[in-house]
Amino acid sequence: MTDHGQALTPGTKLHEFRIEKILGEGGFGLTYLAYDEHLEKQVAIKEYFPIDFSIRTEGNNVSPRTEHSKGDFKWGLKAFLGEARILAKFKHDNLVGIHRFFEINGTAYIVMEYVEGRTLS
């Protein structure tokens, strides 16, 4: 993992979800442990945050790093939301359940069931 300087800080609120800590990162996003204040349980939240072509600005907003990367950013955001829609339709023991997804702060978030365990790496 790299520096998490661009990650949301613990305590940040996204609707009814309160960020607790970062769980990991990939090329297209950050994953957080969060607390759902409505359901009173922990969840995992995946944030669309492509490290190579996005940046976090004031108010936790996410935007393309450059004007040149704007098209890639928008394409990736659309694909991220499409993935959420597809995965939300499945219910299988080997897939983490998707609770909901939403757009806010110039980006998108997928709220998933939090499953404790070790990473594959």
> Within its chain, how far is the Cα of 99 from the centroid?
13
51: helix, strand or coil: coil
**pLDDT score recorded for residue 18:** 98
3-state secondary structure string, 76-121?
HHHHHHHHHHHHHCCCCCCCCCEEEEEEECCEEEEEEECCCCCCCC
For the stretch 94-104, pLDDT in tens is 888 899 999 99
For the stretch 65-110, pLDDT in tens is 999 999 999 999 999 999 999 999 988 888 888 999 999 999 999 9
> The tokens of 69 are what?
């990367």
